């Protein structure tokens, strides 16, 4: 209408549609239809385009979003003339008066945002390979802190061993740098004790005394995500001390002597042993070998009837013993 010039878009076409790339102007559209019998019909319509389709163009039509538990997905709808479109995403925090770039020259029209609570402008720019640009800005309120990588504890488990209680927790976090801290609160003594300080293992060994406890675990990732969990736990066995179990006495006859030994199991690497003999006929105890770290000793008995007796002692004073009857007749 501005140039007052008619332009033919298609002539003698059997297709009922045509592709047109107008400039940003006002137009009359005129279409004529000719039937096989020669009958002719026409239609006229006014049309206005605010986009110059003869050049590279992009138009952002609106924004959308999806609020997730720990993030917000932002997206825009758009039209363009073809080719790649790149997007620049920014947010302006109205409370701190600061801009943050979420993505620059990004090929997707969706972006994941993890904001702190506050009021924002969300600003997106689109640019085509031909240099056409458009931008769109809208307000956004965030009520929940979504800036931290989530850290979730999913429950505790435990395994009661002879030497203690192995306690563990299941967890979920996208951050690989997760650390744990274990504590126990004795409900009888009203005191906290540390089982394990911050470390990368979600299992710890606990050696409690008998009593009633709160078992407490804390977990934190490198991005500030945190969670904690507490359960009640009753303990009937004293795991706070070392243990020593004697499993049997063995004897080897060496003609002039007996080598006597005891098999054992213990969580202590500093166990010591003492051997004694009891002469049943003469009703008399005597020392075979005094306390030392060997669980074997040499015994030089005369003919007679004896009890061979061994004591085992841990480094913290836990004692166990075993006796075996022996008849010596050489």
What local confidence, expressed as pLDDT, does residue 1 receive?
A: 57
What local confidence, expressed as pLDDT, does residue 2 receive?
A: 65
Query: Could you tell me which residue, 113 or 49, shows the higher pLDDT?
Result: 113
The answer, yes or no, to whether residue 237 has pLDDT greater than 60, is: yes
CB 268 within 8 A of CB 305: no
- Close Cβ partners of 111 (under 8 Å, ≥ 6 residues apart): 73, 74, 75, 87, 89, 102, 103
Dump pLDDT digits (tens) for 87-133. Answer: 999 999 999 999 999 999 888 899 999 999 999 999 999 999 888 99
Output the domain CATH number for residue 210.
2.60.40.10
> Based on the domain organization, do 136 and 156 belong to the same domain?
no
> Based on the domain organization, do 222 and 157 belong to the same domain?
yes
> Based on the domain organization, do 253 and 322 belong to the same domain?
yes
Domain stop point among 86, 119, 142: 142
> Based on the domain organization, do 258 and 316 belong to the same domain?
yes
CB 63 within 8 A of CB 72: no
Range of the domain at 296: 244-328
Domain stop point among 235, 270, 300: 235
Largest Cα–Cα distance of the chain, in whole Å? 142
- Close Cβ partners of 235 (under 8 Å, ≥ 6 residues apart): 165, 208, 209, 210, 211, 212, 213
- Close Cβ partners of 192 (under 8 Å, ≥ 6 residues apart): 183, 184, 185, 186
User: Which residue in this structure is represented by tokens 């137009």?
Assistant: 27
The answer, yes or no, to whether residue 54 has pLDDT greater than 90, is: no
C-alpha closest to that of 90 among 58, 120, 134:
120
Task: Specify the number of domains making up the chain.
Answer: 4
Q: How confident is the model at residue 148 (pLDDT cuts 50, 70, 90)?
A: confident
Domain stop point among 216, 235, 254: 235
> Based on the domain organization, do 74 and 89 belong to the same domain?
yes
* 8 backbone dihedrals φ, ψ, rounded to 5°: -85, 125
Q: What span, in angstroms and rounded, lies between the C-alpha atoms of 112 and 90?
A: 12
């Amino acid at each position: 209408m501005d140039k007052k010039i008619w332009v033919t878009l298609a002539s003698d076409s059997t297709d009922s549609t045509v592709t047109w790339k107008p400039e940003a102007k006002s137009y009359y559209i005129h279409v004529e239809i000719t039937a096989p019998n020669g009958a002719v019909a026409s239609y006229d319509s006014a049309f206005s385009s605010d986009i110059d389709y003869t050049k590279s163009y992009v138009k952002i039509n609106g924004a959308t979003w999806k609020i997730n538990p720990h993030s917000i997905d932002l997206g825009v709808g758009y039209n363009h003339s073809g080719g790649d479109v790149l997007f620049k995403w920014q947010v302006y925090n109205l409370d701190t008066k600061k801009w943050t770039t979420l993505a620059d020259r990004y090929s997707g029209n969706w972006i994941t945002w993890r904001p702190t609570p506050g009021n924002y402008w969300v600003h997106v720019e689109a640019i085509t390979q031909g240099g056409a640009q458009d931008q769109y800005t809208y307000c956004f309120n965030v009520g929940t802190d979504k800036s931290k990588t989530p850290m979730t504890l999913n429950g505790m488990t435990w395994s009661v061993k002879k030497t203690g209680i192995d306690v563990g927790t299941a967890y979920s976090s996208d951050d690989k740098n997760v650390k744990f801290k274990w504590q126990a609160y004795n409900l009888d003594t009203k005191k906290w004790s540390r089982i394990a300080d911050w470390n990368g293992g979600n299992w710890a060994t606990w050696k409690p005394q008998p009593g009633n406890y709160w078992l407490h675990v804390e977990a934190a990732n490198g991005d500030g995500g945190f969670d904690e969990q507490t359960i009640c736990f009753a303990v009937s066995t004293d795991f706070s001390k070392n243990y020593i179990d004697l499993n049997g006495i063995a004897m080897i006859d060496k003609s002039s002597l007996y080598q006597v030994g005891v098999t054992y199991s213990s969580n202590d690497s500093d166990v010591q042993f003492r051997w004694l003999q009891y002469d049943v006929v003469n009703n008399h105890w005597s020392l075979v070998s005094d306390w030392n770290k060997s669980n074997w000793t040499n015994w030089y008995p005369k003919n007679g009837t004896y009890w061979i007796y061994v004591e085992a002692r841990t480094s913290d004073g836990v004692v166990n013993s075993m006796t075996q009857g022996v008849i010596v007749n050489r």
